[in-house]
Amino acid sequence: MTGEKAVVGVHYEAGYERHDTGRGHPESAVRYRVLREALTGLAPEIVRLPGRVAMVEEILLAHEAHYHDLVYRDVEDFADVLRTGDTAISIESYEVAREATGAVLEAADAVMRGEVRRAFCAVRPPGHHATADRGMGFCIFNHVAIAANYLRTQHGLGRVAIVDWDVHHGNGTEDIFVEDAEVLYLSLHESGSYPGSGGAGDRGRGTGIGATVNLPLSRGSCGEIALAAWDETAGPALDRFQPEFVLVSAGFDARQGDPLGGLHWDDETFVRLTRRVVALAEKHAAGRVVSVLEGGYDPTGLASAAMAHVRAMR
């Protein structure tokens, strides 16, 4: 802790457990509950941040209106799965997804107002696979993409970096900003894993060339490999970009033992990546970081890695 304001804010809420993905689904309410109960134990060290429901206009900062309406209708029609892809839904999923986005925007506001320096938002459903017009991969609305555009439109920021270390490539986030030079999307992910995108040669399109950085990692590789890729490529690219705000798509499914991931990171890997992100933000972005939960499907491993991440944000 520094002598000034609280450094780290954390948002979590039992309400996210209303998003019911069905029996045996890896992105489960149980997974979330284990994480939430662990985060509760952090109370003396952090500030707990409130949430809110994102306005429809805010959802439309990164999504097509017809896709927003489709989500609303599919939920109202009691569909089990979003018709655009592999995202299980239940009767409260539309509302919960809007709450998840709203919490991330609220955290961005808290950081911009200087109430906290950094924040971690434990929300669900996750977001980074959702494109402007398609939900997939357990995702409905792309919270991080919406937040990047919110920071630009509501807070007048110029350059926002998105660091995505979920084991899966964030195809949705890349797609939304693929032609955008002012949002740098950087992904460390398992090569060849779902959804199959994120090749090292994919560097953006048109005016956005160079503002997409993909670092696919070999299946079975350990955290040292990821950290070396960071130091060799990610760190210098982010340094050149000079972001005014850093968003993190913080999946913890690259952790050893995750049922959906094939990498072998440990908690220390997440600590060291977090410290690199914090150092980058301190150098260019007045320390401003908002980190958002994406994947992580071994409940105990998720809780352990996320706690290590939050503690390293101080």
Tell the smallest beta-carbon distance from residue 5 to Zn ion (Å): 33
d(CA 147, CA 223): 28
Q: What SS3 state is found at 44?
A: helix
> Among 125, 243, 251, 299, which residue sits at the site for Zn ion (rule: CB under 5 A)?
251
Nearest distance from C-beta of residue 311 to Zn ion, angstroms: 22
- Token code pair at residue 118: 């950094």
CB of 69 to Zn ion, least distance (A): 27
Peptide bond into 125 cis (omega under 30): yes
Q: In the complex, what is the shortest distance from the CB of residue 172 to Zn ion, in angstroms, rounded to a whole number?
A: 12
Cβ-based burial of 15 (10 A; exposed 0-12, middle 13-18, buried ≥19): middle
Task: Give the dihedral of Cα atoms 261, 289, 102, 157; nearest 10 deg.
Answer: -130
Instruction: Candidates 27, 174, 253, 298: give the one binding Zn ion (CB under 5 A).
Output: 253
Identity of the residue, 166 or 244, whose beta carbon is nearer to Zn ion in the bound complex? 166
Residue closer to Zn ion, measured from CB, 157 or 274:
274
3-state SS, residue 132: coil
CA dihedral over 258, 261, 265, 269, signed as positive or negative: negative
- Position 258 contacts Zn ion (CB under 5 A): no
Q: Which is nearer to Zn ion, 68 or 128 (CB)?
A: 128
Nearer to Zn ion, 244 or 258 (CB): 258
What is the closest distance, in whole angstroms, from the C-beta atom of residue 27 to Zn ion in the complex?
A: 9
Query: What whole-number distance in Å separates Cα of residue 289 and Cα of residue 280?
Result: 10
The region of 24-32, 64-72, 213-221, 292-300 touching Zn ion under the rule CB under 5 A is 292-300
Under the criterion CB under 5 A, does residue 168 sit at the interface with Zn ion?
yes
Among 44-52, 54-62, 74-82, 287-295, the segment contacting Zn ion (CB under 5 A): 287-295
Q: Kindly state whether residue 295 participates in binding Zn ion, applying the rule CB under 5 A.
A: yes
10-18, 158-166, 205-213, 304-312 -> range binding Zn ion (CB under 5 A): 158-166
- Nearest distance from C-beta of residue 166 to Zn ion, angstroms: 4
Residues 139 and 126: beta-carbon distance below 8 Å = yes
Q: Does 190 bind Zn ion (CB under 5 A)?
A: no
- Closest residue to Zn ion, judged by C-beta, is 295
Euclidean distance between CA atoms 126 and 234, whole angstroms: 23
Q: Give the one residue of 166, 180, 258, 267 binding Zn ion; rule: CB under 5 A.
A: 166
Active-site hit among 11, 19, 128, 129: 129
Confirm whether 129 is a catalytic residue.
Answer: yes
Q: Which two tokens stand for residue 265?
A: 């990171």
298 binds Zn ion (CB under 5 A): no
Task: Report d(CA 78, CA 158) in Å as an integer.
Answer: 41
State which H helix or E strand residue 31 sits in: helix 29-40
Residue closer to Zn ion (CB basis): 112 or 130? 130
Q: In what order do the strands lie in the sheet with 47-48?
A: 47-48, 8-11, 118-121, 289-293, 245-250, 160-164, 183-190, 212-217
The residues carrying an active-site annotation are 129
- Give the residues lining the site for Zn ion (CB under 5 A): 166, 168, 251, 253, 295
